[in-house]
Amino acid sequence: MRTLCKGAVSILLFGLLSVAAIAQCKDNRGTWTAEPAKDHAELLQFRFVCSEDIGSIGHPLAPGELQGLDPAAVHGQHTSVKFRLVREAGTLQFEGIFNEGIGYGEFTFTANPEFLAAMKEMGYPVPADKALLLTLLDMNRAYVQELRSLGFNPNLDKLIEARIFNIDREQVNGLKAVGVSDVSLDKLIQYRIFHVTPEYVQQMRAAFPGISLEKMTEMRIHNVTPAFASEMSRLGYSGLNVDQLIAFKIHNVTPDYISELDKLGFKKLNPDQLVQFRIFNVNANQIQDLAKEGYKDLSVEDLVAFRIHHIDSEFIETVKKAGHQHPTPHELVEFKIMGIRRRSAEL
């Protein structure tokens, strides 16, 4: 679990922290585009690209944050605009055009010397190539002080991660209220990424008494819910532990799949067999294909072995042509591994 979570977090952070590339804009200039945000129509999804850098950053902004931008101009036709984004870390000046909600143009960035000096005094000398990033993330002194009051003293990169995922007092106090305290900054980031909220903690503890935060997070990653456990219980799998439920989700052992196997005569397979069937893609097509050659009522082990060694009706026909009319499943596996020897006419 620890490796899985760490890997998942690393992938997400790689995507989000790749925004740092934009911060290396030569002469603090670049281009921008904007369109309505998909999940929040009231926001504009901006994308910033440096003129001499392949890096880019996507960032939603509320029109109300953009000084000088007339909301009517956003929806006008080929309307020229000039506006700016002013934050504690610096200011972005925009020029360009909006046409029926879609905008594009150029931007310039100016860092705030007072902010940079204050950050340096707090132990965060900000490299020139990160001032723009801090502005887009709306980094400010109050946020740094809030993290420190919570007992965290991260380096600049970790401070940026915390800001991206909005680690704050509300999250920390909410977790404390459900008995989750002394959590590291990395864990808080992980909980934000996977939506491990106080409400979720309470829900999971009620459904799975004694569950650890680590297992809870793993269940969140794989969308293992109390409802999923109840559905499995309804199908006769009431004794599944957390790891088995997670394995079912990872390998897509669904209620529909269990019902399909049930119709094929495989009733009440144990959890390990179900997972094994899914891993090796034992399904109706395989079973029906083998039945055409007279191989019916095969055991779980035989079906899995046939999948592992790619034994199907085509291979069985080849075996028959070599003079072996109906070899046992074990013999078929041996033929596949060792090669088929033609049976002599005398035999």
Structure confidence by residue, pLDDT tens digits, 97-156? 999 999 999 999 999 999 999 999 999 999 988 899 899 999 999 999 999 999 999 999
Q: Indicate the DSSP class of residue 59.
A: E
Backbone angles phi, psi at 246, to 5 degrees: -65, -45
Helices (H) then strands (E): counts for the chain: 18, 7
User: Residue 121: which of 133, 113, 131, 129 has the closest Cα?
Assistant: 113
Q: Break the chain into its structural domains and give their ranges.
A: 2-164, 257-338
Q: Indicate the DSSP class of residue 181.
A: -
What is the percent of the chain with per-residue pLDDT over 90, rounded to a whole number? 76
User: Residue 74: which of 107, 103, 33 has the closest Cα?
Assistant: 103
CA atoms within 13 A on the CB side of 10: 6
User: Strands 102-111, 90-99: parallel, antiparallel or unpaired by DSSP?
Assistant: antiparallel
Separation CA 19–CA 277 (nearest Å): 42
For residue 267, name the pLDDT band (cuts at 50, 70, 90).
confident
Separation CA 41–CA 28 (nearest Å): 29
- Whole-number pLDDT of residue 24: 54
Separation CA 321–CA 239 (nearest Å): 48
- Whole-number pLDDT of residue 26: 66
Task: Share the mean pLDDT of the chain.
Answer: 89
pLDDT: which is higher, 9 or 273? 273
Q: Would you say residue 344 has pLDDT above 60? A: no
CA atoms within 13 A on the CB side of 35: 5
Please compute the mean of the pLDDT values over residues 160-188 and round it to a whole number: 96
| Single pTM value for the model | 0.80
- Whole-number pLDDT of residue 102: 96
**Alpha-carbon distance values, 259 to 142, 156, 199, 256, 307 (Å):** 56, 53, 33, 5, 21
Per-residue model confidence as pLDDT tens digits over 269-322: 999 999 999 999 999 999 999 999 999 989 999 999 999 999 999 999 999 999
Question: Residue 320 is which amino acid?
Answer: K
Contact 45, 162 (CB under 8 A): no
User: Strands 29-36, 102-111: parallel, antiparallel or unpaired by DSSP?
Assistant: antiparallel
Sign of CA dihedral 343, 344, 345, 347: negative
Separation CA 69–CA 51 (nearest Å): 24
Structure-token pair, residue 8: 């998942």
